[in-house]
A and B are shown apart, each in its own frame.
Chain A
Amino acid sequence: MPILGIIASQKSGHLTPAASLAYDSIQTVTLTSAQTSIAFSSFSSSYKHLQIRGVTSGSDNTNVRIRFNSDTGSNYAYHGMQAGAGYGTTVGSNYASSQTGIMAFDQQLGGSTYWNGTIIDILDYTNTNKAKTIRTMSGVDNGSGNGFAFLETGLWTSSSAITAITIYPYSNTFNTNSTFALYGIKG
């Protein structure tokens, strides 16, 4: 492995010893064929928060949604901001309630080489005294002046502990090589 170097003009940087943080890799899913959804289940309840990091593309210009514990009822809401091409000169916004899933991100315009990046934080996922809140940051840029960046927050109105997570395109499929990694953050 090459030694990581630092270049700051004529100044030499310094290396700090690697140390571990309370952040565990739990499971990674990389699609070997197009799929209508991906799921995480049977993960530990011993963490304080969860984070999902993914790069995806889809077979359709659609947004991607997330739901919990296989709840397909109208128990979700989201608010968000969007920026980039297609939003004029000001930041756009979105809002919806009584949804069957949270709009976590949008993967339009990606295609086979320009991938959407997304980070989803699921906070206090085992607490049974509160509804569950998530936040996402995502974006895609297709290299030709089109794309967008998203900041979203989502709500699942249930106080149940989250034991399963499903992520799915609103229509059609994720492309091959789309990948999601689930991490646990200790409190």
Chain B
Amino acid sequence: MTAGNTYTPITSTTLGSDQPSFTFSSIPSTYTDLVIVTNNRLTSTGLGFLLNINGGSTSLSYQRGGSDGATTFTSNTTDRIDITGVGSGAGAGLFATHILNVMSYANTNGYKTILFKSNNASNSSVPGFVIFGVGNWHSTAAINAITFIPAAGNIASGSIFTLYGIAAA
């Protein structure tokens, strides 16, 4: 017995001007998992694109790996989750794509796991990249807010952030 359609677009925003951050807030706890799809660009030349959870920037860590087309790399930290953006050095009009799966975000039995994939393509000397990784928020509290913050500069106008909810039977 199926429970019917359970992959629901919750909200979507396209930035009309450069912004220092973007937040999904008051996220309802009625879903099992969240999926975030964002196509975005940073106004600085830096690539850091960090996550805060429930307004906080602590108790976060991540593992990730990827390739810039020339070499592969891995990293692990006990710092804020860095999904990596595309900066202004990549050339005009280039946007990065990120898909984040926030697993069991309202479950209070364990800490929260976020799977993410990031990529952009560049036709300039600035390389593109493909990244896959996992982040963790070390809290049993339900996630009700997720904030995207550039390590420097702003999120550029035209960036899109869409939030989906998946409800299990």
Assembly CA distance A70 to B50 (angstroms): 43
Q: Which residue of A lies closest to B139 (CB)?
A: A113
Interface size on A, residues (CB 8 A): 68
Shortest distance between the CB of A67 and any CB in chain B (Å): 23
Contact: A115 with B77, CB < 8 Å?
Answer: no
Interface size on B, residues (CB 8 A): 70
Chain A CB within 8 A of B12 CB: yes
Chain A CB within 8 A of B90 CB: no
Contact: B104 with A115, CB < 8 Å?
Answer: yes
Chain A CB within 8 A of B30 CB: yes
Q: Which residues of B contact A (CB under 8 A)?
A: 2-13, 15-17, 19-28, 30, 32-33, 59, 61-67, 71-78, 101, 103-104, 107, 109-111, 113-115, 117, 132-136, 138, 140, 144, 147, 155, 163, 166-169
30 A/B residue pairs, CB under 8 Å, sorted by A:
A4-B28, A7-B22, A10-B19, A18-B9, A20-B5, A20-B8, A25-B2, A44-B2, A53-B32, A55-B107, A83-B133, A84-B65, A84-B76, A90-B72, A90-B74, A91-B65, A114-B113, A115-B113, A137-B101, A139-B113, A139-B134, A140-B113, A141-B61, A141-B63, A143-B78, A143-B138, A147-B134, A149-B64, A149-B133, A183-B168
